[in-house]
């Protein structure tokens, strides 16, 4: 190695060492605005903070020095600290007085990149008593310790970016409780819950793998749909309540069961009843997400529940219709290859089912580790 090259490498190493602390401290940097969606209902507002790349476990003097995360959830101490922080730094009011918010749901998903950690937070604000909607004043100083902190407010056709210290007013017409808006919001919420729900997707794929034909698959999914619709409605209306600490492990068990049954059972004639039985459990899981979103009152409640269910079914249908042709094509291709000594389709089914069962077991273990 030449003398010049050694000196160049030495200089690069010195620069890296000089700025390494700065790179490490960049853990707090926010790389996209905090998106805040407002859902106005008759007697409250629900604010949804979601799809944000930000590590809220590192807020100075709030969460940085306490234990925050248990699995993908937050400790009670961290939730309390975050609620106080948001109420102090994100103030809303429709009569000149800030309304205190109460956290309904908070989830955390750390990324492989330490500068990127997604969080989802739902917080509810009680509206002031009265008839017509009033203009809503919003002031934000959220994450003002970051150089590029921005809060993006979204509601109906209104959108505004707020830097720390800025405020805005939302027109009353955008805050009127709107049936069509509720239907669209809950339809999308139901669909997203499937598309982003690894546990539910694993269960559906487990059913897909051994379905002999499309007619049987539709029959099995119908059993799952009817069952989860029953428990979803009962739980969302708080007629029947099962704590998440029992529901989530049972959802993981349903994934393990379907994966193992795919491997050991020669026939799957009872799949309708198996899907229906576990559908009851998945319905309680759906309901937890639905309640946290802030169900409306009155007639809108029925339409919101229906919309959520339709969103779930449309998402399930999209997954099945997308995966079914691929599986059938793979099955036919492997049948031809098996005649020449290649891998047979049943071997692929067993391998994939083993993977599904293993993922279910991992989710089961993860829940218990997070609870400790």
Mean pLDDT throughout 67-96?
87
Q: Which of 63, 61, 55, 66 is nearest to 26 (CA)?
A: 55
Question: Distance between CA 207 and CA 258 in Å, rounded?
Answer: 7
The per-residue pLDDT for 218 is: 84
Band (pLDDT 50/70/90 cuts) for residue 371 is low
Q: What is the percentage of the chain residues whose pLDDT exceeds 90?
A: 20
26 has a pLDDT exceeding 50: no
Band (pLDDT 50/70/90 cuts) for residue 111 is low
Q: pLDDT tens across 247-269, in order?
A: 888 899 999 999 999 998 877 77
Mean pLDDT throughout 100-124?
78
Q: pLDDT tens across 288-317, in order?
A: 777 666 677 767 778 888 888 889 889 988
- With tokens 């919001």, the residue in question is 185
216 has a pLDDT exceeding 70: yes
Question: Distance between CA 236 and CA 239 in Å, rounded?
Answer: 8
Tokens for 131? 């008839």
Q: pLDDT tens across 342-370, in order?
A: 788 888 889 999 999 999 999 888 776 65
Tokens for 232? 């979803």
Band (pLDDT 50/70/90 cuts) for residue 11 is very low
The per-residue pLDDT for 285 is: 83
Give the chain's largest Cα–Cα span. Answer: 81
Sign of CA dihedral 278, 309, 101, 297: negative
Q: Is 1 helix (H, G, I), strand (E, B) or coil?
A: coil
Q: Which of 197, 218, 198 is nearest to 207 (CA)?
A: 218
Question: Distance between CA 368 and CA 128 in Å, rounded?
Answer: 41
* Distances, alpha carbon 294 to alpha carbons 209, 277, 291, in Å: 36, 27, 6
Cβ-Cβ contacts under 8 Å for 2 (sequence gap 6 or more):
none
The per-residue pLDDT for 361 is: 92
């Amino acid at each position: 190695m030449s003398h010049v090259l050694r000196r160049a490498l030495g200089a690069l190493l010195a620069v890296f060492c000089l700025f390494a602390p700065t790179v490490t401290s960049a853990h707090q940097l926010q790389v996209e605005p905090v998106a805040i969606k407002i859902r106005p209902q008759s007697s409250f507002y629900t604010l949804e903070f979601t799809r944000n790349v930000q590590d809220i476990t590192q807020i100075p003097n709030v969460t940085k020095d306490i234990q925050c995360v248990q699995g993908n959830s937050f400790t009670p101490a961290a939730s309390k600290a975050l609620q106080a922080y948001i109420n102090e730094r994100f103030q809303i009011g429709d009569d000149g007085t800030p309304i205190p918010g109460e956290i309904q749901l908070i989830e955390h998903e750390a990324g492989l990149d330490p500068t990127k950690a997604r969080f989802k937070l739902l917080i509810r604000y009680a509206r002031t008593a009265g008839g017509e909607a009033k203009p809503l004043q919003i002031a934000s100083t959220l994450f003002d310790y970051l150089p590029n902190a921005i809060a993006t407010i979204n509601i109906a056709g209104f959108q505004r970016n707020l830097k720390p210290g800025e405020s805005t007013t939302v027109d009353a017409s955008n805050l009127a409780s709107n049936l069509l808006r509720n239907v669209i919001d809950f339809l999308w919420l139901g669909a997203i819950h499937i598309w982003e729900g690894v546990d539910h997707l694993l269960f559906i794929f487990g059913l897909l793998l051994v379905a002999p034909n499309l007619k049987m698959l539709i029959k099995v999914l119908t059993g799952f749909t009817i069952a989860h619709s029953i428990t979803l409605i009962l739980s969302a209306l708080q007629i029947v309540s099962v704590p998440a600490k029992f529901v989530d492990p049972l959802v993981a068990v349903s994934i393990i069961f379907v994966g193992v049954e795919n491997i050991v059972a020669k026939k799957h004639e009872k799949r309708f009843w198996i899907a229906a039985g576990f559908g009851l459990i998945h319905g309680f899981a759906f309901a937890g997400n639905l309640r946290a979103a802030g169900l409306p009152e009155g007639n809108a409640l029925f339409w919101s529940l229906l919309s959520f269910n339709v969103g779930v079914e449309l998402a399930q249908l999209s997954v099945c219709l997308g995966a079914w042709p691929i599986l059938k094509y793979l099955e036919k291709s492997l049948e031809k290859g098996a005649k020449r000594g290649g891998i047979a389709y049943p071997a692929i089914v067993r391998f994939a089912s083993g993977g599904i069962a293993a993922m279910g077991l991992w989710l089961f273990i993860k829940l218990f580790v997070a609870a400790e």
